[in-house]
């Protein structure tokens, strides 16, 4: 016997129409690439999303055709999310920080029909348009007046003219909720990038999960700054969960330096923000230098790479902001776990709470996880055993776009490539990406543990711990450090800092100072590059 409830597919168009109807005056504020601040409402966004849908119909785009974006976080990008997916096409967000050739490769692989770009990225488009064999229409996200006449790019239109010619009435189509809605390529640290293809269903379930109190607890009382780019796993789903909850949404455009982020947070009374640790490093440095405090910020979601415990403490103790440490990946839409204390931990002392908060947190309902040993046997949740982390759930990929990489699931579970432990309360702790693990004399050393300790040293701005080949131990850890401006510290002082914090054999053999650590397109440390750079480094005693 089937239930007698309405069988309504979960579609992305419903999110924006819900927001327009129930939160018509809910604000969306964008710092535009033009430099000024743009303000409008969910009602306006819905109307313009419908214009986008009409414009795509006029181009004759078919169901599931791909529309690419090369754009910062802003209202036009937001409209594309809804107009493209809502009308049955697939919004394909491309990371503009990739090399132009990689952008062209991805656009060709995805067979994008339309590519919409912020004017900031005109140089990329000029460099690649002739190589993108499937793109028939180029849309510059600007007013017609801002479009130079001599770009040489064929079929180039200004977004405002393109959608301006269309009606803001549109009958959103109803189709199978499992249809593709959005496409995002992984950064491809190994091999070619692979596409994660999200569905309407997965996106809406993810938005529900994300908004839960034990996830990021999003509501119509929040003003949310999405620092995480809309080209990085759909800004971690915020454009969808924002429309679902009707929160105020603040989109920072291209200005992600500490000063710009701080000013926007204060001006828009931001209560919640989200981004990778490197962005917060810039913000905290700026605030410290200027002696500033927050007037409205309550919590910030930090993920994408491990958030150093020292940062969690600084946010809490110096600025009264709770860090929600989160873990996930492109293949997971991206949310897997978020760190919120449980009832039994609320009464614990501060230090015990910090120890929990440094972990990546508990699974959001919808995601299941397990850790396994080398033979695939499940390991206990004792907080000690570490193994390969596998996940499953309705917003986890079942395979990659066009079957790249072949069969990726193992008995229905997706292998994350991360190494982790899980404690009896269900808190996940990532110790490494499997390719970053340091194997010393048959034992594993967690590079994240070592970096977290180093980051607590007052002279250290950023630290990466990498494996260097060693004649006796196979590999030994080397610590690569960027010092804070003006800070002095010798290698011996930094190594001394590890005393009593980890076992002696886990302490790095050496420290090298560098001016900067290479960051990838999503702001993560590129340890592979560092490993290459320091492959020949002579460790003391080696
Ligand atoms: P890519 O694989 O392209 O770098 P993702 O953004 O999908 O891009 O990265 C996912 C990976 O990032 C995870 O598998 C994990 O290794 C790492 N990661 C994400 N969040 C955290 C976190 N809070 N702590 C440690 N590692 C994290």
- Ligand 1 atom, smallest distance to 325 CA: 23
Interval 299-326 mean pLDDT:
96
CA of 188 to the centre of ligand 1 (A): 12
Residue 35 tokens, joined: 């430099």
Residue 207's pLDDT is what? 98
360 Cα: distance to centroid of ligand 1 (angstroms): 11
Which residues, including other chains, have CB under 8 Å from residue 538's CB and lie 6 or more apart?
none
* Ligand 1 atom nearest residue 524's Cα: 4
Q: Is 119:33 a contact under the CB 8 Å cutoff?
A: yes
CA atoms within a 13 Å half-sphere pointing along the CA-CB vector of 445: 27
Q: Is 430 in the pocket of ligand 1 (CB under 6 A)?
A: yes
Ligand 1 lined by 522 (C-beta under 6 Å): yes
What number is the average pLDDT over the span 459-476? 93
pLDDT, averaged across the chain: 96
Mean pLDDT (whole number) for 417-425: 97
Ligand 1 binding pocket includes 452 (Cβ within 6 Å): no
Interaxial angle between packed helices 12-22 and 200-211, expressed in degrees from 0 to 180 and rounded to the nearest 10: 50
Binned at pLDDT 50, 70 and 90, residue 497 comes out as very high
Q: Looking at ligand 1, which residue's alpha carbon is closest to its atom 19?
A: 304
pLDDT at 206: 98
Statement: residue 307 has pLDDT above 90: yes
Nearest protein CA to atom 26 of ligand 1, as residue: 305
Q: Is the CB of 304 within 6 Å of ligand 1?
A: yes
What average pLDDT score do residues 114-137 get? 98
For residue 172, report the phi and psi dihedrals to the nearest 5 degrees: -65, 130
- The answer, yes or no, to whether any atom of ligand 1 lies below 6 A from the CB of 325, is yes
Residue 380 has pLDDT above 90, yes or no: yes
Query: What average pLDDT does this structure show over 194-208?
Result: 98
For the stretch 360-369, pLDDT in tens is: 999 999 999 9
What per-residue confidence (pLDDT) applies to 230?
98
6 phi and psi, to 5 degrees? -60, 135
Percent of the chain whose predicted confidence (pLDDT) is above 90: 92
DSSP category for residue 109: H
User: Which atom of ligand 1 is nearest to 430's Cα?
Assistant: 25
Alpha helices in 273-364 (DSSP H): 277-290, 309-319, 343-346, 350-357
pLDDT for position 266: 98
Provide the pLDDT for residue 189: 58
CA of 328 to the centre of ligand 1 (A): 6
* Cβ of 275 below 6 Å from ligand 1: no
pLDDT at site 188: 59
360 Cα nearest atom in ligand 1:
23
Pocket of ligand 1 contains residue 524 by CB under 6 Å: yes
pLDDT of 534 reads 94
Would the pLDDT of 414 be above 70? yes
Stretch 482-510: mean pLDDT: 93
Given the CA of residue 188, which atom of ligand 1 is nearest to it?
Answer: 3
Among 38-47, 91-100, 183-192, 419-428, whose mean pLDDT is lowest?
183-192
pLDDT for position 523 = 84
Beta strands 195-199 and 248-251 are unpaired
- Domain locations in the chain as residue ranges: 436-533
pLDDT level of residue 190 (50, 70, 90 thresholds): low
Ligand 1 pocket residue status of 330, Cβ below 6 Å: yes
CA of 262 to the centre of ligand 1 (A): 25
- pLDDT the model gives residue 484: 92
Contact by Cβ (8 Å): 231, 276: no
Pairing mode, strands 248-251 and 27-31: parallel
pLDDT at position 435, please?
87
Residues 6+ apart with CB under 8 A from 503: none
Q: Is 209 in the pocket of ligand 1 (CB under 6 A)?
A: no
Ligand 1 mutation target, pool 106, 311, 323, 328, most atoms within 8 A of CB: 328
- Determine whether the shortest distance from the Cβ of 246 to ligand 1 is under 6 A: no
Regarding the beta carbon of 390 and ligand 1, being less than 6 Å apart is answered no
On whether the CB atoms of residues 49 and 82 are closer than 8 A, the answer is yes
- Chain centroid to CA 80: 19
Inform me whether the pLDDT recorded for 57 exceeds 80: yes
**Distance, CA of 25 to CA of 248 (rounded, Å):** 9
Stretch 60-75: mean pLDDT, rounded?
Answer: 98
Residue showing tokens 């206990």: 380
Catalytic residues: 186, 331, 439, 444
Mutating to test ligand 1, I would choose from 304, 309, 330, 431 the residue with most ligand atoms within 8 A of its C-beta, which is 304
Probe target for ligand 1 pocket from 97, 236, 327, with the most ligand atoms within 8 Å of CB: 327
State mean pLDDT over 5-10: 97
CA of 274 to the centre of ligand 1 (A): 14
CA of 303 to the centre of ligand 1 (A): 7
Q: What is the distance in A from the centroid of ligand 1 to the CA of 467?
A: 19
For residue 333, the CA-to-ligand 1 centroid distance in Å is: 12
For ligand 1, whether the C-beta of 87 sits within 6 Å is no
Gap from CA of 374 to ligand 1 centroid (Å):
21
Band the pLDDT of 77: cuts 50, 70, 90.
very high
- The answer to whether the CB of 114 falls within 8 A of the CB of 136 is yes
Q: Does ligand 1 come within 6 angstroms of the Cβ of 49?
A: no
By CB neighbour count within 10 A (0-12 exposed, 13-18 middle, 19+ buried), where does 3 fall? Answer: exposed
Distance 241 CA to ligand 1 centre (A): 21
Q: State if residue 418 touches ligand 1 by the CB under 6 angstroms criterion.
A: yes
The fold of the 436-533 domain, in CATH, is: GMP Synthetase; Chain A, domain 3 (3.30.300)
Over residues 229-262, the pLDDT tens digits come to: 999 999 999 999 999 999 999 999 999 999 999 9
């Amino acid at each position: 016997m089937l239930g007698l409830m309405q069988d309504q597919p979960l579609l992305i168009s419903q999110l924006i129409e819900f927001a327009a109807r129930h939160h018509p005056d809910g604000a969306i504020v964008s710092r535009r690439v033009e430099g000024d601040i743009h303000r409008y409402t969910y009602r306006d966004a819905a109307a313009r999303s419908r214009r986008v849908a009409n414009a795509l119909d006029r181009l004759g785009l078919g169901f599931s055709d791909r529309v690419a974006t090369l754009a910062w976080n802003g209202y036009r990008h937001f409209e594309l999310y809804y107009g493209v997916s809502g009308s049955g096409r697939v919004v394909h967000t491309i990371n503009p920080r990739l090399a132009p050739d990689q952008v062209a490769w991805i656009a060709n692989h995805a067979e994008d029909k339309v590519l919409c770009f912020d004017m900031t990225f005109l140089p990329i488009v000029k460099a690649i348009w002739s190589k993108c064999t499937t793109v028939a229409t180029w849309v510059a996200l600007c007013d017609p007046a801002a479009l130079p006449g001599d770009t040489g790019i064929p079929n180039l239109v200004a977004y405002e003219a393109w959608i301006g010619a269309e009606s803001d009435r549109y009958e959103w189509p109803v189709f199978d909720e499992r249809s593709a809605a959005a496409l995002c390529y992984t950064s491809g640290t190994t091999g070619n990038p692979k596409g994660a293809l999200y569905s309407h269903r997965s996106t809406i379930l993810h938005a529900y999960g994300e908004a839960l109190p034990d996830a990021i607890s999003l509501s119509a009382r929040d003003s949310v700054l999405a620092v995480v780019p809309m080209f990085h796993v759909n800004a971690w789903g915020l454009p969808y969960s924002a429309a679902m909850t009707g929160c105020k949404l603040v989109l920072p455009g291209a200005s992600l330096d500490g000063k710009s982020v701080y000013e926007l947070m204060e001006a828009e009374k931001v209560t919640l923000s989200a981004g990778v640790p490197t962005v917060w490093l810039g913000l905290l440095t700026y605030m410290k230098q200027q002696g500033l405090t927050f007037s409205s910020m309550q919590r910030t979601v930090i993920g994408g790479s491990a958030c150093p415990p020292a940062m969690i403490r600084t946010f809490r103790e110096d600025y009264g902001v709770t860090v929600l440490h989160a873990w996930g990946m492109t293949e997971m839409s991206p949310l897997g776990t978020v760190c919120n204390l449980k009832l039994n931990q609320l009464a614990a002392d501060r230090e015990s709470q910090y120890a929990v908060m440094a972990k990546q947190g508990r699974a959001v309902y919808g995601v299941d996880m397990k850790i396994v040993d080398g033979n695939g046997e499940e390991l206990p949740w004792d907080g000690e055993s570490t193994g390969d982390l596998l996940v499953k759930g309705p917003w986890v990929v079942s395979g990659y776009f066009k079957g790249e990489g072949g069969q990726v699931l193992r008995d229905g579970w997706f292998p994350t490539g991360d190494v982790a432990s899980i404690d009896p309360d269900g808190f996940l702790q990532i110790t490494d990406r499997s390719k970053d693990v340091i194997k010393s004399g048959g034992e594993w050393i967690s590079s994240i543990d070592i970096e977290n300790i180093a980051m607590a040293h007052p002279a250290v701005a950023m630290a990466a711990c990498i494996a260097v080949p060693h004649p006796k131990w196979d590999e030994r850890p080397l610590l690569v450090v960027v010092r804070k401006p003006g800070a002095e510290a010798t290698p011996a002082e930094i190594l001394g800092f590890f005393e009593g914090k980890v076992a002696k054999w886990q302490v790095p053999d050496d420290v090298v100072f560098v001016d900067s650590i290479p960051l990838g397109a999503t702001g993560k440390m590129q340890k592979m590059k560092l490993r290459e750079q320091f492959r020949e480094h002579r460790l003391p005693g080696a």
